[in-house]
Amino acid sequence: MKVLVVGSGGREHAICYKLNQSADVEKIYAIPGNPGIAQLATCVAGSVEDIDAIVSFVKENAIDLTVVGPEVPLCLGLVDAIEDAGYLAFGPKKAAAALEGSKAFSKDFMVRHGIKTAKYVEVDTIEEAKAALAGFCYPVVIKADGLAAGKGVIICEDEKMANEALEDLMVTKTLSDAGDKVVIEEFLKGFECSLLCFVDNDTILPMVSVKDHKQIGEGNTGLNTGGMGTVSPNPFLPAAIEARFEQEILDKFMAGIKADNLDYRGIVFIGLMIDGEEINVLEFNVRFGDPETQSILLRLESDLAQVMKACATNTLATQKLVWSDKTAVTLVLSAPGYPGNYPKGSKISNLDQCECVVFHAGTKEVDGDIVTNGGRVLNICALGDDLEDARAKVYKDAQVIHFDGMYYRKDIGLI
């Protein structure tokens, strides 16, 4: 099988790493890939948003399966375009990808299909929005409807802050047309949990549990990031809660995509808030999480290419997922200043001296050197007999790798 992976982050490097272990995969291409991916695949320059160019590449190279990493091309209809050209793709069609691409669409889906979620209203004008605030207590959560690369959710402590957030989104248009529509939502307390599943139009197979560490600072403090590290299994998820996911969320999700005739073959990544016995869905993402994927795929013992092909051909019911019972930890090494402004181009040393698997997230090759090229730069990943063992391995390699201002959290898996 010739496989094309679309994307350039640590998530896509982990996907290529796992696909490369498959006996069925003879060749991997990536658009655009990164220097780590280049060790496993042929990287082809291009934008993940250039649908026409990707479809042309698929046709010219007779790609057997295209795996789409990020949400933007899914929401732009890349899978629709590849399938219209007669080729197989892993990922939901455009209409289904709106479950991530539009918060209002996704909230409406949850309510119509009985999936528990925070109380909300959807508004289209600043006047409607300000009037709707009266129906909420503080803190209140304000969400831009459209994709906003993680910047679209604002938790507002009081009415002044809420009014400012609404003005920014709907009048100043700080997030452009992502803020044309806004969702105002009740604040939920509790702890967050990510639930990733392989899905096709008939079957949903949940993956092992995983915990992301979203904030930049130790002790879960400071600004939210794309994720500073993950641990699988999630050490904080009670088995009694996990046992309820199938009936209360997954069965309803499947009934919903069937009833709404959404063509959904790929990944659904469900963000949950758990408070005592209460389980609420915060959001749906229509792709693998980053850096959740890195920890999860290290534990996957099944053949990823076969599972992905089964999703794409709507035969997922024939697959069984086999998992290692070890603990996986992923540690993100980030650039100084991230998630704010950060420098690029710092030389990275000692990558070849690491014992763990190291995925590239934001790197570039310049004159034979690997240099930093993003906020999240590298992901050190390891399997261990237990959490302590996996943590010891990744933190040992964190002492080996060096670039100027390199930062990482020391408490991944502990809090």
DSSP for 234-277 reads -TT--HHHHTTHIIIIIHHHHHHHHHTT----EEEEEEEEEETT
Q: Does 132 interact with ligand AMP (rule: CB under 6 A)?
A: no
Q: How far is the CB of 52 from ligand GLY (least distance, A)?
A: 27
HSE on the CB side for 213, CA within 13 Å?
27
Q: How far is the CB of 87 from ligand AMP (least distance, A)?
A: 31
Which option in ligand GLY, ligand AMP, none does residue 153 bind, with CB closer than 5 to 8 A by kind? ligand AMP
Helix (H) or strand (E) holding 212: strand 211-212
Which option in ligand AMP, ligand GLY, none does residue 192 bind, with CB closer than 5 to 8 A by kind? ligand AMP
Please identify, using beta-carbon distances, which residue of 88 and 297 lies nearer to ligand GLY.
Answer: 297
Please name which of 277, 278, 279, 252 lies closest in space to residue 268, comparing C-alpha atoms: 252
Please identify, using beta-carbon distances, which residue of 111 and 322 lies nearer to ligand AMP.
Answer: 111
> Which residue has tokens 């949850």?
110
Which option in ligand AMP, ligand GLY, none does residue 289 bind, with CB closer than 5 to 8 A by kind? ligand GLY
Amino acid at 105: F
2 forms beta bridges with: 27
Contact 81, 302 (CB under 8 A): no
Among the candidate windows 3-11, 186-194, 230-238, 296-304, which touches ligand AMP by CB under 6 A? Answer: 186-194
Please name which of 4, 3, 15 lies closest in space to residue 291, comparing C-alpha atoms: 15
Q: How far is the CB of 355 from ligand AMP (least distance, A)?
A: 32
Q: Which two tokens stand for residue 293?
A: 């994927």
d(CA 360, CA 294): 11
Please name which of 101, 45, 60 lies closest in space to residue 77, comparing C-alpha atoms: 101
Which option in ligand GLY, ligand AMP, none does residue 73 bind, with CB closer than 5 to 8 A by kind? none
Binding track over 9-48 against ligand AMP, x by CB under 6 A: ----------------------------------------
DSSP-based three-state secondary structure for 59: helix
Please identify, using beta-carbon distances, which residue of 292 and 397 lies nearer to ligand GLY.
Answer: 292
> 188, 321, 387, 414: which one contacts ligand AMP (CB under 6 A)?
188
Q: How far is the CB of 72 from ligand GLY (least distance, A)?
A: 13
Please identify, using beta-carbon distances, which residue of 30 and 272 lies nearer to ligand AMP.
Answer: 272
Please identify, using beta-carbon distances, which residue of 44 and 188 lies nearer to ligand AMP.
Answer: 188
Amino acid at 30: A
∠ Cα 139 110 179 (to 5°): 55
Which option in ligand AMP, ligand GLY, none does residue 188 bind, with CB closer than 5 to 8 A by kind? ligand AMP
Long-range Cβ pairs for the range 102-111 (8 Å, 24+): 102/145, 102/146, 102/181, 103/143, 103/144, 103/145, 103/146, 103/152, 103/183, 103/283, 104/145, 104/181, 104/183, 106/283, 106/284, 107/183, 107/185, 109/256, 109/260, 109/284, 110/281
Which option in ligand GLY, ligand AMP, none does residue 212 bind, with CB closer than 5 to 8 A by kind? ligand GLY
Binding track over 189-208 against ligand AMP, x by CB under 6 A: ---x----------------
> 53, 95, 118, 132: which one contacts ligand AMP (CB under 6 A)?
118
CA 90 to chain centre: 15
d(CA 366, CA 210): 35
Please name which of 285, 311, 290, 281 lies closest in space to residue 97, comparing C-alpha atoms: 285
Please identify, using beta-carbon distances, which residue of 278 and 404 lies nearer to ligand AMP.
Answer: 278
Q: How far is the CB of 226 from ligand GLY (least distance, A)?
A: 6
Q: How far is the CB of 168 from ligand AMP (least distance, A)?
A: 16
Q: Does 187 interact with ligand AMP (rule: CB under 6 A)?
A: yes
Please identify, using beta-carbon distances, which residue of 83 and 185 lies nearer to ligand AMP.
Answer: 185
Residue ranges in contact with ligand GLY by CB under 6 A: 212, 226-227, 285, 289-290, 292
Q: Does 283 interact with ligand AMP (rule: CB under 6 A)?
A: yes
Q: Does 126 interact with ligand AMP (rule: CB under 6 A)?
A: no
Q: How far is the CB of 216 from ligand AMP (least distance, A)?
A: 14
Q: Does 153 interact with ligand AMP (rule: CB under 6 A)?
A: yes
Q: Which two tokens stand for residue 57?
A: 């590449």
> Which residue has tokens 């806004």?
182
Interface positions with ligand AMP (CB under 6 A): 118, 141, 153, 185, 187-188, 192, 271, 282-283
